[in-house]
Each structure stands twice: as C-alpha cells, then as structure tokens.
Amino acid sequence: MPLDLILEQLLNGVQFSLMLFLLAAGLTLIFGVMDLINLAHGSLYMIGAYLTATFAPHVGFFPAVVLAILGTMLIGGLLEVTIIRRLYARTHLTQVLSTFALMLIANEVVRMIWGAQPIALSAPESLSQPVQLPGFKYSAYRLFIIAAGLGVGAGLYYLVNKTRVGMWLRAGASNREMTRAMGVKIGPLYTLIFALGAGLCALAGALLGPLLSVQVGMGENILILAFVVVVIGGIGSIKGAFIGSLLVGILDTAGRAFLPTWLTALFNPQLAGSFGPALASIAIYVLMAAVLFFKPRGLFPARGTG
C-alpha cells in the first residue's frame, strides 16, 4: 500500500479522533464530576450541527459556528437547570432512561423544526481547496479541523490543569465530598460544566457537519463511540478521554481503510470481502473489551480504588 495513502488515512483518523475527543471530554467530565450518564449528549451534538447549518447561509460558516456553540451552551444550561439537575442523585438506571427519553424528545423537536430530510452544510469556501503536503494533497478543511481540535484540546488542558475552575473539576472527579468541603458552590459549577460539555458537542457537530450529514439521529452512533472512549480512558479523566479518542478514532478509521485490503492479501478475496468490513467495525469494541479485561476501571481511572 502506498505510503501517502496510509498517511492520509492516518490523518483522517486523527481528525475524527479529535472530534470524538470533544464529545468524550464533556461526557467524561459530566460522568466523573456529576456521576451522570447522559445519553442526551449526542442530541446536543446534533443541535450544534443544525444550528450551524441554519446560521451559516446568513452569517457565514465561522460566525455560524460561534453562534451555534453559544446557542447550544444556552440550551444545555437550560436543560441542566430544569431537568438534568434532578437526576444527579438518582440511580444510573433512572439517568439512562431519563436521558434516553430526552433524546427521543430532541430528535422529534428537531424533526418538527427542520424536517425529516438531512439538511445541507458545506465547508467554508476559503478551505475548499486541498493543500499540498509533502508527497500528497490533503483537504484543507480536514486540516483545519485537526488544528481546531488540537487548539481546543490544549485549551481544555490549560483549563483543567492550570485554573481554579480546573482544580475544582479535578477534585470533583476524584472526590465529590472534597469539592463540597472546599466550599465550592456545586449548583452553578455543575451548570457550567454541563454547558461547557454542550459547547464542545456543538463545536464537534458544527465541524463534522460538512463531512458527515446533518440529520436527525446523527448524534447517536457517535455518542456510543464517545462512551467507549470514556470507558477506555477511565471515567472522569480528560487525559484518558484524549488517549482513548486517539485509540478509538485511529483504530476505527484505519480498520475500515486497511483491514479489508490486508485480509484480501492474507485470505481469499471473497472471505475478506464479507468479513473485512464487519471486523473493522467491531475492532474498537474488541479493544474496549480487552482494556476492561486488564484494567476494569479504564486506562486512567480518576477516582481512587474502593
């Protein structure tokens, strides 16, 4: 296989990983700090994409992304204040089902407003030409996503590790009582975290919108992937979410791109043709099962044992 093709797929993998990270980072914080399983996280991603697609024709792509992030944060904040906050003290089962219901509602509301058909969102004009990298051409838009993902990742790293809010977050993820004891106002902090998670979702939705399609239910499969990432990385760990995203994103993309070819080389083409795609699509779940087998609490458990 030519090297440039491998490189290109690798870049695609990194690009997808970083978007996955945006979702997983919010999810793992909400999971770790508030002990909430939030299936509606994927809905916020969907809303972010729809808002971007709605604003973009009027104000241009980049301002639309900003508006979508703000709008989704607002929606997330409202959601937290009205409903989500009632769920923190509930069992995980109740949380799963309540947010499952929220997801159904969100899908239907989006369908009511925007219709059942996928809507168009195209990459900004300025990034439509491929760029020449050493050896091959690569989509400028995807490069931009990689840069944006890395930028936000660095920002999050700074936020979590170098600021006071970040200190609260880390304390909250490893020991909830401690956060209370530190006198942090839990209510607003939780709303803030939830809104932050919503904003990250919106950004991922907005940036991935032009690559995938903006449609009802678009957040559901990527949500499951984000959960896989969170579990692999260890609940509550941003670092874990980052490493997990890279593992999952690259394995998934590379698996789809290369596994069928490799299998063809190893076995007969017919067998490879029918099992290649199947194997590729389950690779990440095998990875997750393997990680949990050896480290039942994920790679970087934020909470101490016991």
Partner 1 sequence: MKRLLPFLLLALGLALPFILTAMGQEYYISFASRVLVVALAASALNLILGYGGLVSFGHAAYFGAGAYTAALLAGKGAGLPAQLLVGTGVAALLAFVFGWAALRTRGVYFIMITLALAQMLYYLAVSSDSLGGEDGLRISRAALWGDLTLGDDRAMYYTALTALTLGLFVIWRVVHSRFGEVVQAARDNETRTAALGYPVRRYQLVNFVIGGALAGLAGVLMTQISGFTNPSLLSWQQSGQFMMMVILGGVGTFWAGLLGTAVLLGLEEYLGEVTERWPLFVGLILLGVMLFAPKGLGSLGTLFGRKKKEVVE
Using CB under 8 A, list all residues that contact partner 1.
31, 37, 39, 83, 86, 90-94, 96-98, 100-105, 107-109, 112, 220, 224, 227-228, 230-231, 235, 273-275, 277-278, 280-282, 285-286, 288-289, 292-293, 296-298
Give the count of alpha carbons within 13 A of 145, CB side only. 29
Distance (Å, whole) CA 118 – CA 216: 7
3-state secondary structure of 131: strand
The least distance separating partner 1 from the CB of residue 44, rounded to whole angstroms, comes to: 16
Q: Report which of 305, 282, 276, 258 is spatially closest to residue 3, judged by C-alpha positions.
A: 258
Shortest Å, Cβ 28 to partner 1 = 11
In the complex with partner 1, the residue whose CB is nearer, 37 or 160, is 37
Residue placing its CB nearer to partner 1 in the complex, 3 or 113: 113
| Look-up of token digits 């991922």 | 204
Smallest distance, partner 1 to C-beta of residue 142, A? 24
146: tokens are 């990689």
With 0-12 CB in 10 A as exposed, 13-18 as middle and 19+ as buried, what is 157? middle
Among 148, 116, 138, residue whose Cα is nearest residue 17: 148
Q: What is the distance between the alpha carbons of residues 196 and 23, in angstroms, rounded to a whole number?
A: 11
- Comparison of 109 and 181: residue with beta carbon closer to partner 1: 109
Nearer to partner 1, 1 or 282 (CB): 282
Residue 205 forms beta bridges with which residues?
A: none
Q: Minimal distance in Å, beta carbon 89 to partner 1?
A: 10
Please, what is the minimum distance in Å from the beta carbon of residue 42 to partner 1? 11
* Nearer Cβ to partner 1 (65/103): 103
SS3 281: helix
- Those residues with Cβ within 8 angstroms of residue 226's Cβ, 6 or more apart along the chain or in another chain: 20, 23, 24, 27, 41, 42
Residue with tokens 């209370």: 180
Q: Which is nearer to partner 1, 77 or 255 (CB)?
A: 255
Of 106 and 206, the one with the shorter C-beta distance to partner 1 is 106
Provide, rounded to whole angstroms, the least separation between the CB of residue 295 and partner 1: 10
Q: How far apart are CA 78 and CA 191, in angstroms?
A: 9
Write down the least CB distance from residue 209 to partner 1, Å: 22
Please tell me the distance from the alpha carbon of residue 158 to that of residue 131, in angstroms, as a whole number. Answer: 30
Provide the sign of the torsion angle of the four alpha carbons 179, 174, 157, 249, taken in this order: negative
Smallest gap from residue 2 Cβ to partner 1 (A) = 25
Q: Is 26 or 298 the residue whose CB approaches partner 1 more closely?
A: 298
Residue 148 CA to residue 235 CA, distance in Å, equals 24
